[in-house]
Amino acid sequence: MAEGVARLPVLADLHFGREDAERDVTEGLLLRGGFLPNAAYRAAVAGRKMLIIGRKGSGKSAIRMQLMADADADGGYGGGKALVSPDEAAGEEIRRFELQGLPGDSAKALIWRYLFAVHAARYLVSHVKDDGAHGRRTPDSVKAVHRFLRQNGESADAGRLGERLAQGAKGLQTSLSLEAFGVKAAVDMTREASEGARAARQLDVVEEGVARAFEELGCAGGRDGAAGHEPLLLMVDELEVVWSAEPDSNSMVIGLLLAAKHAAGRYGRAVRLLLFLRADIYDSLTFGEGDKFHGDELRITWTEQALRDLALARARASAGARLTETELWRGIFPERVADEDTASHVFGRCLPRPRDAIQFLNLCQETAWLTHGRERITEGDVLRAGRQFSAWKLKDLALEYLVAHPFLKQLFPLFQNTGYVVTRSTLGGRFDAAAGTLHGRFPAYAEALTLEGVVDILYGVGFLGVRRGNDVVFAADDHLPVQPHETEFHVHRCFREALGATSAIDIRRYEPLAALSARIASGAHGPQSSGTTPRNRDDLLLGELSRSCHSILAQVSRAVTLTPDAGAEITRQIGRVLDDAQRIPPGAALSLGVHVDGHLLSTAHYFEALAARILASGLDDGTTGAGGVAHRIEEEVRRLRRVAGGSYGSSGNSGRS
């Protein structure tokens, strides 16, 4: 650093990377220590899994980009690599591909097999040319592969994938040039019974020729084989760009799976297939051989600790390798936010995937540094960023599932400006009121737009969690779908701010006596006489109010079926009432300007509204849940009103149950 130039604060240097892996690589952070190897990456390197499945933003492309950049020296994947990433033109060719005599899935499997064979053949030719490990003499089988590529317009300098696929599809539907492998298509293929059978036979010839070339080169032995190198890694990614929730798109993906399974067996250890698939796409597929792929699946999952590790790795990659976890979470960030450990606060409000965490953390940094010019992030910065982030994520969720669930955005108002805890019966009432509109706007989805269907969809996309025992679980944590007997659902913390659903149940916040708080803080009330202060009517009324609060709190603690979040919210508001009553020193109400009778009646009115809100929430109508708490509050309302209207010295207890 030049002399006399002050070093910028760490916060100015801090950046957690880009949301997309491509820009992360371009700007260098991903490959500069910002990548966190996880189970999916290790399985990909080791060749243990063929299907890497994850939600949008879960890190699939980051794994692919890291694999493309890997070298043997750093323990990554150092073998040959080829990427198949269909654009719209290529996807359209695959979706439209048909063969007489074959069902759609099988026909599309053939075009994928052809695509894999061509990529393997092109790799073989360049591998022999560029790598001296196989000697100077090129085997005849490799020469044959090279001739096949030239004769069918598939050489290394051929056009775009879509154009080459169009040509390959035409060849499979009519005849490929197979003279390089000693087969004259016009003579040898005419006896095949159907277009599909003829295409399959042609493809068998091509795959056999490619496999023979791998074998003669000694490339079929993997890392420990004769050639001493890892197999070709063929990766397919970004299929969501060309997918829609239509039968031909599903056939395209099913065909890919069938082709990958076939190629893995056909080329042995010479070629390794790795498919990156969005979870919503994979989970929507239904086909007879689906059970054969379970052993090949690996779903990307992220725990809070893994996200913490990722955040620290990216912070170090941008701000300095010596940055410690303590410096990050107790120095740069505030130690606590909203009475919660900051990291838990941040990651608890993200869906469990890197993209969300990166966006939230960067937003905190930008709010503090760019907006306010601070050198450290404050609690207020995190809270402000959280409100913006929540709005982003609610919009992003609708866009993420726009193809599969185009009506998703229209379901969010069912949870707007209300409590984030909702029962099945309460949601049913709200849904019934909106069902006609939803069915009118989305008639093709009417069968899915039932209460049960909506609950399953909202749970599946991570919007709703379900109470199971003492825990609230989300789809990312538990693959068990919502069960018919489960009745209590929670909106994920990621979306609550955007929906205005920040409390467990829809109850008005109790507002303390503002003037009273200021007077007590300043000590602005008259002096008290020495000795014992006699208990006057105001003190007795305040005592009765405190007694009512304790009675309600005791009922909440006994409400065994009341959801803990709702119980905590009720306790919080009753606690505020109790604090108000207990902050007034004995005999000081008048000097503090507090009209106790009016305050008591005002509080009773608040209690009455609170009881009505609790009953309306539908959380529980029994005596051991929300219903019991509401009824206890109603009893205390009646008692407080009797007390306020009684004579001096009356306890008001005669009517207390």
The pLDDT value given to residue 65: 84
Question: Do residues 632 and 549 both lie within one domain?
Answer: yes
- Residue 431, in any domain of the structure: yes
Question: Do residues 318 and 448 both lie within one domain?
Answer: no
Return d(Cα 229, Cα 227) in angstroms, integer. Answer: 6
Question: Do residues 336 and 190 both lie within one domain?
Answer: no
pLDDT for residue 615 is more than 90 = no
Distances (CA, A) of 181 to 186, 271, 491: 14, 21, 61
Top pLDDT among 468 and 29 is at 468
Question: Do residues 252 and 320 both lie within one domain?
Answer: no
DSSP 95-149: HH---TTS-HHHHHHHHHHHHHHHHHHHHHHHHHHH-GGG-SPPPHHHHHHHHHH
Tokens of 340: 């919660």
The pLDDT value given to residue 218: 80
Question: Do residues 105 and 211 both lie within one domain?
Answer: yes
Alpha carbon 429 to chain centroid distance? Answer: 28
Top pLDDT among 627 and 226 is at 627
Amino acid letter, residue 441: R
The domain total for the chain is 4
Q: 269, 299, 329: which is the final residue of a domain?
A: 299
Question: Do residues 101 and 184 both lie within one domain?
Answer: yes
Residue 652 gets the label, from left (phi > 0), alpha (psi -120 to 50) or beta, of: left
The pLDDT value given to residue 522: 47
Distances (CA, A) of 429 to 434, 438, 491, 562: 9, 14, 17, 20
The tens digit of pLDDT for each residue in 501-557 reads 999 887 777 776 644 444 444 444 444 444 444 458 888 888 999 999 999 999 999
Q: 618 pLDDT band (50/70/90 cuts)?
A: confident
Most confident of 427-431, 610-614, 653-657: 427-431
Residue pair 146/260 in contact by the 8 Å Cβ criterion: no
Q: 447, 471, 499: which is the final residue of a domain?
A: 499
If DSSP codes are grouped into helix, strand and coil, which group holds residue 5?
coil
The pLDDT value given to residue 563: 86
Q: Which of 226-235, 451-460, 514-523, 578-587 has the lowest mean pLDDT?
A: 514-523
Mean pLDDT of the chain: 83
Mean pLDDT to the nearest integer, 639-656: 60
Most confident of 379-383, 538-542, 564-568, 653-657: 379-383
φ, ψ of residue 270 in degrees (nearest 5)? -85, -25
Mean pLDDT to the nearest integer, 483-499: 94
Q: 23 pLDDT band (50/70/90 cuts)?
A: low
| Residues in CB range of 514: below 8 A, 6 or more apart | none
Give the bridge partners for 236, in sequence order: 84, 275
DSSP 521-586: HHT-SPPPPSSPPP--HHHHHHHHHHHHHHHHHHHHHH-TTS-HHHHHHHHHHHHHHHHHHHTS-T
φ, ψ of residue 346 in degrees (nearest 5)? -70, -55
DSSP 55-93: -TTSSHHHHHHHHHH--GGGTS--S-EEEE---HHHHHH
The pTM (predicted TM-score) of the whole model is: 0.79
Question: Do residues 246 and 333 both lie within one domain?
Answer: no
The pLDDT value given to residue 560: 83
- Residue 91, in any domain of the structure: yes
The pLDDT value given to residue 421: 92
B/e letters for 522-543, b = 16+ CB within 10 Å, e = fewer, are eeebeeeeeeeeeeeebbbbbb
pLDDT for residue 173 is more than 70 = yes
Tokens of 7: 């070093």
- Residue 508, in any domain of the structure: no
pLDDT for residue 73 is more than 60 = no
pLDDT for residue 210 is more than 60 = yes
- Residue 505, in any domain of the structure: no
The tens digit of pLDDT for each residue in 530-541 reads 444 445 888 888
pLDDT for residue 650 is more than 50 = no
Q: 455 pLDDT band (50/70/90 cuts)?
A: very high
Return d(Cα 410, Cα 412) in angstroms, integer. Answer: 6
Top pLDDT among 140 and 29 is at 140
Amino acid letter, residue 562: L
Residue pair 229/133 in contact by the 8 Å Cβ criterion: yes
The pLDDT value given to residue 248: 87
From the CB of residue 448, how many other CB atoms can be counted at a distance below 10 Å?
A: 14
The tens digit of pLDDT for each residue in 103-161 reads 889 999 999 999 999 999 998 888 887 655 566 678 888 899 899 988 888 876 666 77
From the CB of residue 395, how many other CB atoms can be counted at a distance below 10 Å?
A: 13
Mean pLDDT to the nearest integer, 281-309: 88
The pLDDT value given to residue 341: 95
Question: Do residues 289 and 352 both lie within one domain?
Answer: no
From the CB of residue 389, how many other CB atoms can be counted at a distance below 10 Å?
A: 24
Q: 254, 274, 299: which is the final residue of a domain?
A: 299
The pLDDT value given to residue 523: 47
The pLDDT value given to residue 377: 96
- Residue 234, in any domain of the structure: yes
Q: 499 pLDDT band (50/70/90 cuts)?
A: very high
The tens digit of pLDDT for each residue in 159-170 reads 677 778 888 888
Q: Which domain holds residue 566?
A: 514-645
Return d(Cα 610, Cα 623) in angstroms, integer. Answer: 17
Strand bridging mode 271-278 / 232-236: parallel
- Residue 656, in any domain of the structure: no
Query: Which residue from 14, 7, 9 is spatially nearest to 315, judged by alpha carbons?
Result: 14
Question: Do residues 392 and 409 both lie within one domain?
Answer: no
The pLDDT value given to residue 513: 60
Question: Do residues 200 and 289 both lie within one domain?
Answer: yes
Q: 183 pLDDT band (50/70/90 cuts)?
A: confident
Instruction: Write down how long the chain is.
Output: 657
Residue pair 34/319 in contact by the 8 Å Cβ criterion: no
Rounded to a whole number of angstroms, the distance between the first and last alpha carbons of the chain is 77
- Residue 27, in any domain of the structure: no
Question: Do residues 177 and 223 both lie within one domain?
Answer: yes
Query: Which residue from 466, 458, 462, 471 is spatially nearest to 351, judged by alpha carbons?
Result: 462
Query: What crossing angle do the helices spanning 88-96 and 247-266 adopt, rounded to 10°?
Result: 90
- Residue 412, in any domain of the structure: yes
Question: Do residues 583 and 459 both lie within one domain?
Answer: no
Residue 83: CA count within 13 A, CB half-sphere: 15
Residue pair 282/262 in contact by the 8 Å Cβ criterion: no
Return d(Cα 647, Cα 65) in angstroms, integer. Answer: 80
If DSSP codes are grouped into helix, strand and coil, which group holds residue 40?
helix
pLDDT for residue 80 is more than 90 = no
pLDDT for residue 594 is more than 50 = yes
The pLDDT value given to residue 3: 43
pLDDT for residue 186 is more than 60 = no
φ, ψ of residue 82 in degrees (nearest 5)? -145, 140
The pLDDT value given to residue 347: 96
DSSP state of 295: G
